[in-house]
């Protein structure tokens, strides 16, 4: 799996959009971009994923650049409950290697 | 309800005393995996399994064993725990090993004294 690079932390005001960047410059053609979040020490929770096109669901939007080397997770109206660590990973079928570790992610703090 | 169940939630033990952390999923997932989480290091994969009787090492397998005798269960075994294995552990599963979302358990906080 390709490695990803995310900022260590970021702050966001409640009610405003939070834009979380992720670099994945070595992503291969069959790898998807996934986002998860972890609130406190709970198990990580799936948010959204995409391959090439932008995606939107009830939680967030995912914008993937045309060259697929980076992406942005958008939380449209951040609330205090969105305070969490957000992980960007890439995952796909690459020969027989199904290893998958998560980096340190981005710690997002939403402030009132 | 679809879920990944880990037990116990908290465990305190002493160096060298064998222990097992259980993980079970009710979604008929083929892929299962164990992670440990330490401050500032994200989630590091210990072992994973693509199917029954098929397991492979992740990034930090030393000191751990796993088995996959049934599709739903994937226990993590520490034969001789040491203090550096004090960590928060998560089990996860997905339908396959490629493009499928992972479902995580609630975690097991292990302290080895």
Which residue has tokens 């340190």?
A: A104
Distance, in Å, from the CA atom of A42 to the CA atom of A30, rounded to the nearest integer, reads 30
> Which chain A residues have a beta carbon less than 8 Å from that of B105?
43
Question: What band does A33 get if pLDDT is binned at 50, 70 and 90?
Answer: very high
CA angle A37, A41, A43 (to 5 degrees): 55
Please list every residue in chain B whose beta carbon sits closer than 8 Å to the beta carbon of residue A104: 40-42
Q: What is the pLDDT of residues B28-87, one digit of tens each?
A: 999 999 999 998 888 999 999 999 999 999 999 999 999 999 999 999 999 999 999 999
Q: Is residue B28 exposed (0-12), middle (13-18) or buried (19+ Cβ within 10 Å)?
A: exposed
Phi, psi for B105 (deg, rounded to 5): -80, 180
Residue A87's beta-bridge partner residues?
A36
CB contact under 8 A, A43 and B31: no
Candidates A32, A99, A105; nearest CB to B59: A99
| pLDDT, tens only, A60-103 | 999 999 999 999 999 999 999 999 999 999 887 665 567 788 88
End-to-end CA distance of chain A: 37
Chain A residue at shortest CA distance from B90? A43
Q: Select from B34, B40, B32 the least CA-distant residue to B96.
A: B32
Q: Rounded to a whole number, what is the largest CA-CA distance in chain A?
A: 47
């Amino acid at each position: 799996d390709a490695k990803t690079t995310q900022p260590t932390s970021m702050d966001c005001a409640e009610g405003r959009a939070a834009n979380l960047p992720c670099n994945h410059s070595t992503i291969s053609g069959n790898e998807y971009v996934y986002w998860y979040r972890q609130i406190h020490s709970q198990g990580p929770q799936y948010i959204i994923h995409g391959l090439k096109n932008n995606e939107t669901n009830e939680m967030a939007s995912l914008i993937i650049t045309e060259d697929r080397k980076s992406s942005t997770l958008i939380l449209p109206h951040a609330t205090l409950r969105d305070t969490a660590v957000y992980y960007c990973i890439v995952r796909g079928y690459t020969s027989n290697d199904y290893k998958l570790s998560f980096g340190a992610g981005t710690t997002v703090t939403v402030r009132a | 309800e679809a879920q990944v169940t880990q037990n116990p939630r908290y465990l305190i033990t002493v160096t060298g005393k064998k222990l097992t952390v259980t993980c079970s999923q009710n979604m008929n997932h083929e892929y299962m995996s164990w992670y440990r989480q330490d401050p500032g290091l994200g989630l590091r994969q210990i072992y994973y399994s693509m199917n029954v009787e098929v397991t492979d090492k992740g990034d930090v397998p030393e000191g751990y064993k796993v088995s996959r005798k049934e599709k739903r269960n994937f226990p993590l075994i520490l034969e001789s725990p040491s203090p550096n294995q004090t960590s928060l552990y998560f089990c996860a599963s997905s339908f396959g090993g490629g493009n499928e979302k992972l479902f995580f358990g609630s975690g097991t906080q292990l302290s080895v004294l």
